Amino acid sequence: MAQTLQTTFGSASAGDPYIPTGGNGGYLAEHYDLSLDYRVATNRLNATAIITARALMRLDRFSLDFAGLSMEKVTVNGERASKVTHSARKLVISLATTIEAGAEFKVMVRYRGAPHAVRSNWGDVGWEELDDGVLVSGQPCGAASWFPCNDHPSNKASYRITIACESGYTVVSNGALSARSSRSGRTSWTFDVREPMATYLATVLIGRYRRRDLAAAPVAHSLYFPARLATRVGTDFARLTEMIAFFADRFGPYPFASYSVVVTDDELEIPLEAHGLAVFGSNHVDGNHGSDRLIAHELAHQWYGNSLTVARWQDIWLQEGFACYAEWLWEEQRGGRTVDQLAALHRGKVQALPRDIVVGDPGPHDMFDDRVYKRGALALHAIRKSLGDDAFFAALRAYTADRRHGHVSTDDFVEFFAEHTGSRVIGGFVARWVQQTALPSL
Same domain, 296 and 402: no
Q: What is the pLDDT of residues 277-290, one digit of tens each?
A: 999 999 999 999 99
Q: Among 190, 207, 224, which residue terminates a domain?
A: 207
The mean pLDDT of 13-22, rounded to a whole number, is: 95
Judge if 50 and 133 occupy the same domain. Answer: yes
Domain count, the chain: 3
pLDDT-based confidence at 299, cuts 50/70/90? very high
Q: Which CATH number is 292's domain given?
A: 3.30.2010.30
pLDDT digits (tens, 9 = 90+) for 318-365: 999 999 999 999 999 999 999 999 999 999 999 999 999 999 999 999
Mean pLDDT estimate for the chain = 96
Looking at 302, 328, 347, which one is the last position of a domain?
302
The residue type at 430: V
- pLDDT tens-place string over residues 226-271: 999 999 999 999 999 999 999 999 999 999 999 999 999 999 999 9
Q: Do the annotations mark residue 273 as ligand-binding?
A: no
- State the catalytic residue, choosing from 195, 298, 327, 331: 298
Distance CA 421, CA 89 (A): 45
* Same domain, yes or no: 123 and 222: no
Note the pLDDT of residue 302. 98
Whether residue 78 is contained in a domain is answered as yes
| 297 annotated as a binding-site residue | yes
Catalytic annotation present for 373: yes
d(Cα 356, Cα 201) in Å, to the nearest integer? Answer: 30
Q: 197 and 54 share a domain?
A: yes
Confidence of residue 178 (pLDDT cuts 50, 70, 90): very high
Q: Where are the beta strands (DSSP E) in 43-155?
A: 44-55, 59-65, 70-76, 79-80, 83-86, 90-99, 104-113, 118-120, 123-130, 133-137
Domain-embedded: residue 11 = no
pLDDT tens for residues 363-408? 999 999 999 999 999 999 999 999 999 999 999 999 999 999 999 9
Are residue 118 and residue 232 in the same domain, yes or no?
A: no
The pLDDT value recorded for residue 7 is: 58
Compute CA 314 distance to the chain's CA centroid, rounded to the nearest angstrom: 15
Q: Which of 274, 302, 330 is the last residue of a domain?
A: 302
20 occurs within a structural domain: no
| Same domain, residue pair 229 and 195 | no
What is the pLDDT at residue 442? 85
pLDDT of residue 403: 98
Q: What is the CA radius of gyration of the chain?
A: 22
In a shared domain, residues 232 and 95: no
Residue 431: Cβ-neighbour burial (10 angstroms; 0-12, 13-18, 19+): middle
pLDDT of 419 reads 96
In one-letter notation, the amino acid at residue 424 is R
Q: Is residue 291 part of a domain?
A: yes
What spatial distance separates the first Cα and last Cα of the chain, rounded to whole Å? 71
Query: CA 316, CA 367: separation in Å to the nearest integer?
Result: 7
Q: 264 and 347: one domain? A: no
Helix (H) or strand (E) holding 243: helix 240-251
* Confidence label for 9 from pLDDT (cuts 50, 70 and 90): confident
Q: pLDDT tens, 149-164?
A: 999 999 999 999 999 9
Domain identity same for 53 and 187: yes
Decide if 193 is inside a domain: yes
Residues ≥6 apart with Cβ < 8 Å to 3: none
CATH number at 317 reads 1.10.390.10
Residue 19 lies in a domain: no
What domain range is 419 assigned to? 310-434
Question: CB within 8 A of 437, min separation 6: which ones?
Answer: 355, 356, 357, 358
> At 1, is the pLDDT very low, low, confident or very high (cuts 50, 70, 90)?
very low
**What one-character DSSP code corresponds to residue 23?**
S
Domain shared by 200 and 217, yes or no: no
Looking at the structure, do residues 190 and 75 belong to the same domain, yes or no?
yes
Q: What is the DSSP string of 324-365?
A: HHHHHHHHHHTTSS-HHHHHHHHHHHHHTS-----TTS--GG
Residue 17 within a domain: no
Question: Which pLDDT does position 15 carry in this prediction?
Answer: 95
pLDDT at residue 6, rounded to an integer = 57
Q: Are residues 196 and 220 in the same domain?
A: no
More confident site: 5 or 247 = 247
Confidence of residue 3 (pLDDT cuts 50, 70, 90): very low
Q: Confidence band (pLDDT; 50, 70, 90) for 2?
A: very low
Q: Which amino acid is at 12?
A: A
| Whole-number pLDDT of residue 8 | 83
Is 320 annotated as contributing to ligand binding?
yes
Give the domain CATH number at 45.
2.60.40.1730
C-alpha dist (Å) from residue 91 to 23, 308, 366: 11, 29, 29
Average pLDDT over residues 104-119: 98
The string of pLDDT tens digits covering residues 47-89 is: 999 999 999 999 999 999 999 999 999 999 999 999 999 998 9
User: Does residue 92 lie in a domain region?
Assistant: yes
Res. 4: pLDDT tops 80: no
